[in-house]
Structure formats: structure tokens, C-alpha cells
Structure 1
Amino acid sequence: MKQFYVGIDGGGTSCRARIRDEQHNLLGEAKSGSANIMLGADIAMVSIIEAIASAAQQANLTQDDFSNMHVGLALAGAEHKNSWQAFMAQLHPFASIVLNTDAYGACLGAHNGDDGAIMIGGTGSCGILLKDGQQHVVGGREFPISDQGGGAVMGLRLIQQVLLAYDGIVATTPLVTHVLNHFNHDVDAIVEWSKGAIPKDYGQFSPAIFQYAFEGDALAISMLKQTAADIEMFLIALNNKGATRICLMGSIAERIQDWLSPPVQQWIVQPQFDAIEGAIMMAGKAEHNLY
């Protein structure tokens, strides 16, 4: 029976799936919604199955083929043991599943299974060093208590500054006006929105921060300096643990490199493969399970 190997890279914003056959040929790739298991094991499973089903269609595969698929899952929130156990306790249609963090999968892919480190800055943030068979993690304990250098924290800080500007406490800038326009200049709408906002909702404002910083907006520039300092803090921590080759990964980290200090930039190298390939390396190999 032909076997398939599936890699899943799932975070607070999206879930990406890639299917390869036994000869490592690419069969299909697709994307669905959030797969952060701390936001719900069942929600993540729905996103994973949806992404795999969409990818499978590209190869004329159906859900009947799921039982021949070994799935490597690199998911946000997997570092939380109770969430990991809740997810793994679910029924699933696949031949096997292996679950570790999105950072672990990204690091495997970035260094093609060799020792090395990554710093992820996407919706959330996390640094990980794989060295001598051990993994060393910094940050990554989820928004809002951790994830400095990630888009969600950036968005939260921005909303705080917008409210201060609205009250006349800090200066209004074009970035502030941009956010107020988003909410039709209704502060009550911002407060109401915040009650149910999740990381990706805050993270949606990070592209605007980069855009307005490029245009010289004082608030946007100060925010990017803070984000760079946050990421630099984690890079130094990784270096202190022995990392000399670190890949920046994720929409925020990849764009922040020019804002980092020269001593830190000397550690930065380009990733060899992405997190989905790292997840495929995990597929069918139970030793990659976090717990």
C-alpha cells in the first residue's frame, strides 16, 4: 500500500499542509484556518483535516487515502502539555500523527535536521536551539504573557497607543489615524472588539506598522525599534545557550533584520527549508513527539 507523508505548519493565523509520496515528490499543498492547539484541540483538528483534504484534491486523493498518510504536526501551543495531550487524545483518520511545536518543525527544516537555531516572529514568537539531540526554548509561552517580537504583541501595543492618542495623552500620527479609521473612530467599538480578539486579530495591524515606519511615522518607527529589541533579546539568549547559526523565520522576524544591531546580525543565516518540510521530517517518527 502506497504511503504518504504530510507536513503541517499551524499557528494562530493559518494552517499549511504539504503532501509528499514515498519518493518525496510533491503531491499537493493547501492552507486553512487557525491551528493553535491552545485555542482548542478540536478547532485545530478541523483546520488540519481541511488543509490536508484541499491538498489531497490536487493529487486526486480523497479522504479514503487519509489512512495511508503519516502526518507530522508542527503546531503552535504544543509546548503546553495539557493542550498537547488533549489534541493527541482525539480520534483521527490518519495512519499516524506526531506532534511537536511549530518552532521545532521550523528549526528541523531550517537546518535540514542538523544542529542550529531559529527565531520565529510571526503572529507569536519563539526561539529554539536544537543541539546534540536536545532542544532549548526561549519565549513562546503564548500571547499576551509572552510572544514579544510577534505580531500580536505589536498589535496590542499599537491599540494601547491609539487609545492614549485618542485621549490626547500622546501625539496622533498617521498610523493612529489608520487604526481609528479601521474602527470608524469609535473607541467603544475598539473596546468591544478587544473582548473577543485573539492573536491573529491583533496581528492584522503589523503590516501597517511596517508600512508607516517606511513612510517615517514616529509611532511606527518606535514600535519597530521595540520589536527589534524584543527579538534581539531572544537572539542573545539563544547565543548564550550555544547558538551560532540562527535563522529568522516568520513575517515579522524576516522583515526586522535591518533593525537589529550588527553584532547580532553576524549570527543570522538563511534557512534551508521551511517549517512544513521540518514537519514532514517528523512524519511517521514517534521520537519527534514532544511528550
Structure 2
Amino acid sequence: MSQYLVGIDGGGTSCRARIRDQHGQLIGEGKSGSANILLGVETAMTSIVDAITQAAAQGGLSASAFADMDVGLALAGAEQKNAWFEFMQVAHPFASIVLNTDAYGACVGAHQGDEGAIMIAGTGSCGIYLADGQQHVVGGREFPISDQGGGAVMGLRLIQQVLLVQDGIGQVTPLTEHVMQHFNHDIDQIVSWSKHALPRDYGQFSPAIFQHAAQGDTLAIAMLKHTAADIEMFLVALNRQGATRICLMGSIAERIKAWLSPPVQAWIVEPQYDAIEGALMFAGKPEHNLY
């Protein structure tokens, strides 16, 4: 075992790092940009190195310590086999890296390696149930074809509704006005933006949906009901696989529980640790590589 263990939780919006020594003592934490490997393996590695550099600096370590770090990577996009192999070919300065999905890391951390399930809904979404050494996964095939219940899909649906309102279809609400103000009341600006927008760009509107729903905005309320139905769909699918203990994780999932039906709420339990701790648990253990 190397002198340091590093856990990485990387998604479409951010990459978070945590370094511990051999005795489990916290060295430092860091945060950088996107580490979804489907958005570019080199970009993801840059974000990982940046986050670890920040975490190391907190503990008074320099880049010379990287060679003595075993890194556990829980990254969005790792479920795509081609992307996984492409990423593993990228040069890095660490003693070792182990790569699995962000959902896997979250589930390992949430149940401290025991049997259980999680439903992640942040920028994207994915559910995973770990039992008897097997992974049962629902969703998680990336925006825009999957990720229902995630912030990016919420933002996409909101933009679609805003454009319909501008066409005289649907009602103007404070939420639609909020979006139009963001784009300087220029529909062409929305269209141009959409040609290059990433999942995190759509996801930036999800906090406004929650905020306006709390203020009684009819569109925002309808959108949260839709998001809750999406997440519930995945929760029911996990339960059918055998999961009776499911943790909600991520900025959307953690705020959606009140919108779920009572029978589904009964399956929800609190996570024991986060995805970074899950990644730390499998750092230096190649048997946890996805492929």
C-alpha cells in the first residue's frame, strides 16, 4: 500500500478529491471542474490532478507526493467500456488508479461496502444496487438520452417550456421570466447557447425550479412532480431487484424525497458515507476496476 489513499468523486459539474494517510487521517480536500470521462478523458484527468493538487496543498504536500498515492476514481461516464479503456491509457503521476463509476463509489460509501442501493440525481442520474458481488444498474446512460430525474434533464425541459411560452403555448410564470431574463429576453440567444450547452449548463437552472416551486409557481411545481415521478420510476426498478434500503444522493435527489409517494419513501435510508469515501475504500484495490 502506498503512503496515501485518494478518493475522487467526479461528475459532469465538478470533481472532488480527498486524501487520507495510511492511518485514515485526513490530509486535505480539493474541488475542480468536470471529470465526466465522456466529455473528454484528458479533461477529466486534468480536473483530477487539479483537485488532488489542491487537497495535497492543504496538507502541506507537493506534487512529489503523487507517486506515493493510490487513487480510487468514482467517475461519471466510466460505465462506457470504450471510454473506460481510453481513460486508463492516459498518463498520470500516481502510484495506481482504480476506476469505477460515480454510482458505484456512492453506493460503496453509502452502505460502507455492505449490500444496499443508491439513487443519484445531481446533474445526471443513476441508480445502482450492490448485492452478492453483483451490480444492478438502472439509468445512467448520460444526457440527453437518459438521466431522467437529473438537473440537466430538468433544465432541458424548462428551456423547452420557456420556448413554448414564447410561442404563445402555455402561461408566463415567474420561472419562465427568470429564464428569459437570464438570456436577455432573446430567443435567438437561447438557440445559439443550446448548440454548445453541456449538461452542467442545463443543470444550472434546477435550483431556480426548486426556489420557484416553493413560491407556488405552477410550472415549477409541475416540473418537480415530473422529476419526482422519474426518480420514483428508478426506485421502483431497484426495489424489484431486491433493494429495500436505498439512499438518495445528489443535489436533486436529496431535495425530492417529500415529493415521492409514501410507500417509496419507506425504502429511503440515510447514507453512512459519501462517494469520495467509497472511492477511498477501493483505492489501491484493482479488483474494484469496472473492466
Bin for the TM-score computed over the shorter chain: over 0.9
Please name the residue that 2:20 is paired with.
20
Please name the residue that 1:242 is paired with.
242
Is the contact between residue 2 and residue 69 of structure 2 (CA under 8 Å) also seen in structure 1? no
Please name the residue that 2:251 is paired with.
251
Give the Cα–Cα distance (whole angstroms) in 2 for the partners of residues 194 and 125 of structure 1: 21
Q: Secondary structure at the match of 2:195?
A: helix
1:94 aligns with 2:94: yes
Q: Secondary structure at the match of 2:29?
A: strand
1:204-256 per-residue CA deviation (whole Å, 9 max, x = no partner) reads: 00000000000000000000000000000000000000000000000000000
- How many angstroms does 1:282 deviate by? 1.0
One-letter code of the match for 2:226? Q
1:273 aligns with 2:287: no
Give the Cα–Cα distance (whole angstroms) in 2 for the partners of residues 64 and 144 of structure 1: 40
One-letter code of the match for 2:37? I
Please name the residue that 2:171 is paired with.
171
Give the Cα–Cα distance (whole angstroms) in 2 for the partners of residues 91 and 176 of structure 1: 45
Please name the residue that 2:140 is paired with.
140
Please name the residue that 2:129 is paired with.
129
- How many angstroms does 1:65 deviate by? 0.5
1:52-87 per-residue CA deviation (whole Å, 9 max, x = no partner) reads: 001000111111000000000000000000110110
Please name the residue that 2:210 is paired with.
210
Please name the residue that 2:114 is paired with.
114
Please name the residue that 1:262 is paired with.
262
Please name the residue that 1:285 is paired with.
285
How many residues are treated as equivalent by the alignment?
291
Please name the residue that 2:198 is paired with.
198
One-letter code of the match for 1:136? H
Q: 1:208 to 1:231 in 2, by over 3 A?
A: same
Q: Secondary structure at the match of 2:98?
A: strand
For structure 1, the 5+ residue unaligned runs are: none
1:135-162 per-residue CA deviation (whole Å, 9 max, x = no partner) reads: 1100000000000000000000000000
Give the Cα–Cα distance (whole angstroms) in 1 for the partners of residues 169 and 109 of structure 2: 46
Please name the residue that 1:6 is paired with.
6
Q: Secondary structure at the match of 2:78?
A: coil
Is the contact between residue 2 and residue 70 of structure 2 (CA under 8 Å) also seen in structure 1? no
Please name the residue that 1:155 is paired with.
155
- How many angstroms does 1:2 deviate by? 6.1
Please name the residue that 2:226 is paired with.
226
Give the Cα–Cα distance (whole angstroms) in 2 for the partners of residues 138 and 261 of structure 1: 20
1:40 aligns with 2:40: yes
Give the Cα–Cα distance (whole angstroms) in 2 for the partners of residues 76 and 116 of structure 1: 20
For structure 2, the 5+ residue unaligned runs are: none
Is the contact between residue 2 and residue 95 of structure 2 (CA under 8 Å) also seen in structure 1? no
Give the Cα–Cα distance (whole angstroms) in 2 for the partners of residues 91 and 136 of structure 1: 31
Q: Secondary structure at the match of 1:17?
A: strand
Normalised to the residue count of structure 1, the TM-score between the two structures is 0.99
Structure 1 outlier segments of 4+, above 4 Å: none
Instruction: Report sequence identity in percent.
Output: 75
Give the Cα–Cα distance (whole angstroms) in 1 for the partners of residues 171 and 6 of structure 2: 50
1:97-141 per-residue CA deviation (whole Å, 9 max, x = no partner) reads: 000000000000000000000000000000000001111100000
Give the Cα–Cα distance (whole angstroms) in 2 for the partners of residues 2 and 231 of structure 1: 39
Is the contact between residue 107 and residue 130 of structure 2 (CA under 8 Å) also seen in structure 1? yes
